Structures are given as C-alpha cells and as structure tokens.
Amino acid sequence: MAVLVFDIETSALPREQFDDAQWEFLFREAERLPDEPAKATRRAEIQQQLNLWPLTAQVVCVGMLNAETSRGQVLYIAPDFEEAAEESATVERVSCMDEAELLTAFWDVARHYDHVVTFNGRGFDVPFLYLRSAVLGVAISRRDWLGYRYTTEPHCDLAEQLTFYGVSGREGAARRFNLDFYCKAFGIESPKSHGVTGSDVSQLVAEGRHREIAEYCLRDVRATVALYKLWRERLAGLK
C-alpha cells in the first residue's frame, strides 16, 4: 500500500494583498484595547497568527515522501530566480515560481496515492491546502481527506492517533504535544535540531532563504515518516 506523508510551510501574504477594510477587520481586536502597550502586544500576536490562516497566508513549501521508499519531492516557492530541478538520491527539490504552480504540482502527485499521513493535517495542513487551492482556482485531486474522523483511511493524522482522538482533553494522559516533543520522547531526530522552526519561515521568506525553508520542511516530513512507522508498529489498532 503506497502511503504519502506530507507537510506544508506557510507565510503571511504581504500587506498590499488586503484593502483597508480587511486590515481593519484583522486588527480590530487590538485596536479596542485601552492602552498602547497592550495594543502593540496584541498587534504583534495577530501579525504572527496571519501566517496560520489560509485567507491571510500562502503555502510556500510542501514536502512529500513515500512512507515505504522515502523517495519524494519538496516543492518550494522561489520567485526571485529560476533554478533547475535538483535531485538527490531519493528526494527531488523543485522550485516553483508561485503558489499556484506549487499547489498544482502537489495535487498532481497526491492523486496517485490512496492513503496519506500527516501530523495535525486534519486541523491545519489539509484545510489550508483546500482553501488556498479554492482561492487560486487550482483543481483539488483528493477531496476525501477530511471525511470521517475516527478512521486512518484514507488520512492518518498522527496528532489524532497519539491522543486517541483527544480522549483525555487538553490536560489528561493523552494530551497533545507538538511534533518536536513526540520525536524527542520516542528517540526520533527532531526537525528543529538544526535551529530552524516554523515560526522562522516568514523571516526566511523575507530574506529570500527559500532553500532553507525547503530543507526544514523536508526534516519535518522525515520525522513524521519515522513517527508513523513507530505508531504503526506499536500502537495501530488499539481501541
């Protein structure tokens, strides 16, 4: 059974993408606060959150690996220069001129897989990909990744599996941790071990360091593959 493991990286759209009414709507909560220090703090928080919403951010990178062969691709936006597709022994690194090109290439790969694995893909990656594709008019080849929650087919979300679908809430024995924490607990190399985290992506975009984003995303996917194999061996099928 071919299984595709993937992860995305996102970054806020530039200010000029929004009109004044939209911008006022986004920061309305901050402007209602009574003093300037509190306003400034909340503005900064909202600015960071813009990276996480598909109507205020874009997909700048998608990493994909076949869970069994570890072969795959990492697609990333690099609009300031053209670069030939680069390939290692197992992973092809492909620069895209814009988000629409990246999403089109992703859905072309995804249609060949019946099963996908993510970490928190149900809550973030998949709805983000669906909405960004809809905004840009990119055809979605797989429309069944947000179906029945309590199943691992066609979409196995490891964040759901390792919390047993949130059985114990936010603070119980099966509370949710981030991917970095799970990797360290299970003896898997953390994708953050090279000093880059998801919160750095927007700054890397601004600095034109597109390839570093691609390598970070690829480390996320490799860690997810390792966690998936461990879950499949030790925990899959528990009820």
The predicted-structure confidence for 102-147, as pLDDT tens digits, reads as follows 999 999 999 999 999 999 999 999 999 999 999 999 999 999 999 9
The predicted pLDDT at position 86 comes to 57
Q: Kindly indicate whether the domain formed by 3-8+57-234 is annotated with CATH number 3.30.420.10.
A: yes
**165 has pLDDT over 80:** yes
The predicted pLDDT at position 14 comes to 95
Cβ atoms of residues 61 and 98 within 8 Å: no
Q: How far is CA 135 from CA 62, 77, 108, 205, in A?
A: 18, 17, 18, 21
**194 has pLDDT over 90:** no
Query: What is the mean pLDDT of the segment spanning 198-209?
Result: 89
Can the peptide bond before residue 127 be classed as cis, meaning omega within 30 degrees of 0? no
Give the residues across from 72 on adjacent strands: 65, 91
The predicted pLDDT at position 80 comes to 65
Domain positions in the chain are: 3-8+57-234, 19-55
- Bigger pLDDT: 79 vs 8: 8
Structure tokens at 24: 């006022």
At 197, is the pLDDT very low, low, confident or very high (cuts 50, 70, 90)? confident
The predicted pLDDT at position 88 comes to 65
Backbone angles phi, psi at 118, to 5 degrees: -140, 170
